[in-house]
Amino acid sequence: MFGMGMNLTIGDFRHVFLYPKALLLGLFSQMVWLPLLSFLIVLPLPVSNEIKVGVILVAICPGGATSNLLNYLLNGNLALCVSLTAINSFITQFTIPLLMNISLWLFLSSSAHIHLDFLESVIQIIIITAIPITLGIIFRNQREAWVSRLQKPFKYILPTLMGVALIGSIFIEKKEPIPITWQDGLLVFPMMLFLNIGGMFGGMWIARLGRLGRKTQMTIGIEVGLQNTTLAIVIAMSILKSPFIAIPAAIYALFSFFTTAGFGMWLSGKNITIQKFKIGLKKRK
């Protein structure tokens, strides 16, 4: 986040909040469009009710640092992306318990006390997002020449740090395994792929209808496409005590980064270069 802050100015955030159309459409895409799409996907399908609840759970857990990193690598609207992530962290304190209980009532005729620690969320936003980005902006203002020299290596360093963090979390966190079978994968994967693709393109079209630029369309699409599957799994396993509800989140986590990165490269016409490996798609005309 410090590295991303070096690519931002106070003026970038001022523009996001003085002209909030992009911010409002991004919030609408994440908080209204994607949950609505998840309900439309699961209602007609002959799958277990636990799986239906799990699909909705993924849709109501917006993404975080990974979407910020992807927008950074693709030169998206980084100030908008960071702002959406921070605001979503507050809003989901209320929307996740509400929408989760609606889905539990509809499909399982039950309810659950889902409590997300508001103070903990505020502290995380301050420590993980606000402070590092502010320091990055200050560093850029004070040492602009240094920042220019650091831009290229940071394109390699930041994805590497993210990869180390993700791999570390896999080995450090020891949780109950999620019982996914091949049959579950074949059944749930098409649903989650449709949620991912429908979410991204829906977010893009909502931004386009709002006459926002292609960069902002890409940013909103990426924000909608990358969900916080870790949070979804924690809620399913620790609060709802249901490994089966966690299955959609576990499957979504396996592919969503790659499909979302492909969407971003297709829409932006840019490639992601990490060390010696260049990942690219044909530029959209």
| pLDDT(134) > 70 | yes
% of the chain at pLDDT higher than 70: 83
| pLDDT(158) > 80 | no
| pLDDT(180) > 90 | no
| pLDDT(205) > 50 | yes
For residue 203, which of 6, 22, 11 has the smallest C-alpha distance? 22
- What's the mean per-residue pLDDT of the chain? 82
CA distance 178 to 188: 14
Domain ranges of the chain: 2-279
pLDDT, residue 37, reads: 96
Q: Which secondary-structure segment (H or E) carries 127? A: none
Half-sphere exposure of 226 (CA within 13 A, CB side): 24
What are the tokens at 192? 């989650």
Q: Which residue has the higher pLDDT, 256 or 154?
A: 256
Which residues touch 33 (CB under 8 Å, ≥6 apart)? 199, 202, 203, 206, 224
CA distance 194 to 266: 18
Between CA 16 and CA 68, with CA 77 as vertex, the angle to 5 degrees is 110
From the CA atom positions of the chain, what is the Rg in Å?
19
CATH classification code of 2-279: 1.20.1530.20
pLDDT, residue 171, reads: 57
Average pLDDT over residues 210-234: 91
pLDDT, residue 274, reads: 47
